Amino acid sequence: MTEDHTAADVPPQEEVDVPALEVRELTVRFAGLTALDAVSFTVGPGTVHAVIGPNGAGKSTCFNVLSGVYRATGGSVRFGEHELTAMPPHRIADLGVARIFQNLALPPRATVADSLMLGRHRLTRTGFLAAGLRLPSAAREERVHRERVREIAAFVGIEHQLHAPAGSLPYGQQKLAELARALCMEPRLLLLDEPVAGMTADERRRTAAVIAGVRDSLGISIVLVEHDMGVVMRLADAVTVLDFGRRIADGAPAAVQNDPAVVRAYLGEEATS
């Protein structure tokens, strides 16, 4: 691994307006089972907001509503002027919302470069016919996108693997490639579902540094679900804690960490050590 990136190392992108994400009274029921029960929280522009809780607390359900995979039974999710709860996933992505799933989702035989190019799809202006005929305008646009892919790959530390099959990379680097692909969308809101799960200590440290750099230099809002409490406490500006589908705490990391309800529900001995 190379040394951690600093904020200055983050590749520049066009300045974007990042609105608040406002979750209000969000409720999700499945066949009579309440997975989320009137959950509310606000993700401030350019902040890292962690959603934590024990297994079955409703974290993944919340993420699935934010990204359009699940429909809410009630409540509202607003990203600026846009109501997300009725939108399909591709419309939400078009608003600049990118998600990294807990499980790897890279095409294993495609090169890392081509996998990252998938993240540029929503930004491509060349039509299908022009691209198929390899017209000069299409070739110019592809060169611009591939240069951007190279910059982002360099930022996350995988520039030397761009021509390798994505499936041949070690697990930690595949997770970094997925983060790079999400960044290739030039998102305004990044949803990270356990981004350091399964990584070594060194990989976790590096990935956390990348996430911090993205927040600090690009101003992107980040919603983070993560079981590694060290990463959560280092990165998060605010934390929402769920338990059995309900919000039991919300606030600054230090305050949440010492909340008795959180200690009982999730942190256990970690909060008192």
At a CB cut-off of 8 Å and minimum separation 6, what does 14 contact? 186
Cα separations (Å) of 87 from 100, 141, 190, 213, 225? 19, 29, 17, 30, 22
Q: Does the domain at residues 1-96+188-273 carry the CATH identifier 3.40.50.300? A: yes
Give the pLDDT of residue 261.
87
CA 16 – CA 220 distance, rounded (Å): 9
Cβ atoms < 10 Å from Cβ of 81: 6
Mean pLDDT of the chain: 85
Q: Tell me the pLDDT tens digit for each residue of 179-204.
A: 999 999 899 999 999 999 888 888 88
Give the pLDDT of residue 132.
47
Q: What is the CATH number of domain 103-186?
A: 3.40.50.300
- Backbone phi, then psi, for 22, in 5-degree steps? -115, 115
Beta-carbon-side half-sphere exposure of residue 220 (alpha carbons within 13 Å): 33
At a CB cut-off of 8 Å and minimum separation 6, what does 203 contact? 1, 172, 175, 176, 196
Give the pLDDT of residue 105.
72
CA 13 – CA 157 distance, rounded (Å): 18
CA 211 – CA 204 distance, rounded (Å): 11
DSSP per-residue codes, 10-65: SPP------PPEEEEEEEEEETTEEEEEEEEEEE-TT-EEEEE-STTSSHHHHHHH
pLDDT above 60 (res 8): no
Q: Band of the pLDDT at 103, cuts 50, 70, 90?
A: confident
Share of the chain above pLDDT 90, in %: 52
CA 50 – CA 73 distance, rounded (Å): 23
Give the pLDDT of residue 269.
45
pLDDT above 90 (res 42): yes
DSSP per-residue codes, 210-267: HHHHIIIII--EEEEE-S-HHHHHHH-SEEEEEETTEEEEEE-HHHHHT-HHHIIIII
CA 196 – CA 208 distance, rounded (Å): 8
Cross-strand partners of 243: 246
Helix (H) or strand (E) holding 144, with range, is helix 136-156
Domain residue ranges of the chain, discontinuous segments joined by +:
1-96+188-273, 103-186
Give the pLDDT of residue 24.
97
Average pLDDT of 6-30? 75
Q: Tell me the pLDDT tens digit for each residue of 227-271.
A: 888 899 999 999 999 999 999 999 999 899 888 888 887 555 444
CA 151 – CA 184 distance, rounded (Å): 10
Give the pLDDT of residue 134.
54
User: Do β-strands 82-83 and 74-79 pair in parallel, antiparallel, or remain unpaired?
Assistant: antiparallel
pLDDT above 80 (res 150): yes
Give the pLDDT of residue 12.
53
